[in-house]
Structure 1
Amino acid sequence: MEEKFLQIDGNKIRYLETGNSKATLVLIHGLGASAERWDQVIPLFADDFHVIVPDLIGFGYSDKPLVDYTPEFFSDFLEKFFVEVDVKRPNIIGSSLGGQVAAEYASSHPYGAEKLILVSPAGIMKQSTPALDAYIMAALYPNEQSAKNAFELMEGSGNDVHEKIVDGFIERMRLPNAKLAFMSTVLGLKNSEIITPKLQTISTPSLIIWGSNDPVIPINYADNFVSAIQDCRFYQMDGCGHTPYVQDPHTFTSVALEFLKGL
């Protein structure tokens, strides 16, 4: 897996890349995360796909300009990113914020993606949840206790969270402008229109994956996505919270590959 950098509108963007397939798969992380969030599934996808995993602008080790981080801003960023890496019609998997970004992109680019997988996507829920509140507090006051508490709540299983996840989050949230970009994104999501009308314009074959125990964006929001997108399937990952690809990477990859490869 190679770490690479490119420039978009004068901003340095970091991404990871692996796999030699002609078919491309792009993985888009959620709020406050980075490409590392996909660590456990990247090698599992690399046998079948050319895998590209960006740090979204404003997050990870990409630059964090002082701008309004709206869903439309991220969708435009994704379009520019695809041009820079010379990727056309990739398969896209987006988690949480990344799911909303992927849906925004698919809505405004009807032939922009081959297939779409949205994992516990944002875009419908407008009120907060205790787990999301804890995560926001951990971003604003990044220390071991606040981050550990937030990630354990988000997982929803009661199990300990790997210290690599906690330490990486703390390190990234202490980077210059990281908190500003995080909170601008939170406000951008809160003040955006509910995504349902845009979902109804998506013609890309889609799959929604949701953890049954998701305390961040509860699974009862899944039907809003499944019923709105024209060609959409649904898979519930039992016993998982907000990031099933972290908690059960092998089941997640198996379900995703079955859909992506049309098995």
Structure 2
Amino acid sequence: MIAKLTKTYLLMIIEAKMVDEKFLQIDGNKIRYLESGNSDKTLVLIHGLGASAERWDKVMPIFAEEFRVVIPDLIGFGYSDKPLADYTIDFFSDFLKQFLKTANISNTFLIGSSLGGQISAEFTAANPDTVEKLVLVSPSGVMKQSTPALDAYIMAALYPNEQNATNAFELMEGSGESVDQRIVSSFIERMQLPNAKLAFMSTILGLKNAEIITKKLPSILTQTMLIWGSDDPVIPIHHADDFVSSIKDCRFVRMDGCGHTPYVQDPHTFSEKVLDFLDVN
């Protein structure tokens, strides 16, 4: 038993060393990010509304085998600072530009999920020379009406307790299966941080007031992959049509049996599809 425990402990240490937690400053705000891998090719992952860098923890080690993977906590979320500001899409797109510059990333492969997908799409449209290839995962930007799953998520953010958070994440997955309680407890912890609720609701208002993204999508000349869970209850899959028809070079992948976060529910299939598309060998 001692030998077994020792081996498990060593594996935990090894895994911990594979991921570095780092911080940088942007306009006086402390921004947290995770980094793994030592490739000369960089892959940046952008999380969604109310999430943090840990949302990508199931795919990060897979991608780190071929890339230097960098995952920021968006300003206003995770363990990055949450200044009093208008959290609009332009605000986030400008943040991403500053983050890449401050982190000395001049060219990158970029993946964005949900809110992070909309941010990544808008950033790529405005900065085409920075992004090598783009992957969007059930991005926001075209859906103006809410859904029951999104309503439950907003409720969990405003009243972060175990019941509300569990209900929200189970609805978002759309599978009917139990959600990892670490996801629930981490969300509750983050939403109780100073200004977390203000940043969350400011972002919701910013999304509601934003212009529909379809007018900007034709400006994306970067090769793009769009991935959508077939059972996504947050942003239903029929919204994929607007992205596929508007982006000139867009490959569409439907992930059956997945909800809003296929990289959490089926990380190996997700990673396989993405790595095949990025094809950096």
TM-score tier after normalising by the smaller chain length: over 0.9
1:127 is aligned to 145
Matched to 1:16, the amino acid is L
Once residues 239 and 81 of structure 1 are traced to their aligned partners in structure 2, the CA distance between those partners, rounded to angstroms, is 34
Matched to 1:181, the amino acid is A
- Residue segments in structure 2 that go unaligned for 5+ positions in a row: 1-18
Q: What secondary structure does 2:131 align onto?
A: coil
Q: What secondary structure does 2:78 align onto?
A: coil
Which protein is bigger by CA-based radius of gyration?
Answer: 2
Once residues 196 and 122 of structure 2 are traced to their aligned partners in structure 1, the CA distance between those partners, rounded to angstroms, is 23
1:60 is aligned to 78
Once residues 58 and 229 of structure 1 are traced to their aligned partners in structure 2, the CA distance between those partners, rounded to angstroms, is 29
The correspondence for 1:107, drawn from 118, 125, 133, is: 125
1:165 is aligned to 183
- 2:114 matched to 1:93? no
Once residues 89 and 120 of structure 1 are traced to their aligned partners in structure 2, the CA distance between those partners, rounded to angstroms, is 23
Q: CA deviation at 1:110?
A: 1.7
- Residue segments in structure 1 that go unaligned for 5+ positions in a row: none
Q: CA deviation at 1:240?
A: 0.1
Matched to 1:58, the amino acid is G
Q: What secondary structure does 1:128 align onto?
A: coil
Q: What secondary structure does 1:122 align onto?
A: coil
1:80 is aligned to 98
Once residues 37 and 272 of structure 2 are traced to their aligned partners in structure 1, the CA distance between those partners, rounded to angstroms, is 17
Deviation sequence 1:112-133 (CA, Å, 0-9, x none):
2000000000000000000000
Once residues 256 and 63 of structure 1 are traced to their aligned partners in structure 2, the CA distance between those partners, rounded to angstroms, is 30
Map of 1:1-263 to 2, 5 A cutoff?
1-261=19-279
Once residues 256 and 210 of structure 1 are traced to their aligned partners in structure 2, the CA distance between those partners, rounded to angstroms, is 12
Q: CA deviation at 1:74?
A: 0.3
Q: CA deviation at 1:88?
A: 1.3
Q: What secondary structure does 1:235 align onto?
A: strand
Q: TM-score, normalised by structure 2?
A: 0.93
Aligned residues with identical type, % of pairs: 70
Once superposed, what is the RMSD of the aligned Cα atoms? Answer: 0.7
Runs of 4 or more consecutive aligned structure 1 residues displaced over 2 Å after TM superposition:
none
Q: Cα–Cα, structure 1 residues 50 and 262, in superposed 2: closer, same or farther, change >3 Å?
A: closer
Shifted more, 83-92 versus 146-155: the winner is 83-92
Q: TM-score, normalised by structure 1?
A: 0.99
Q: CA deviation at 1:262?
A: 6.0
Q: What secondary structure does 2:85 align onto?
A: coil
Q: What secondary structure does 2:50 align onto?
A: coil
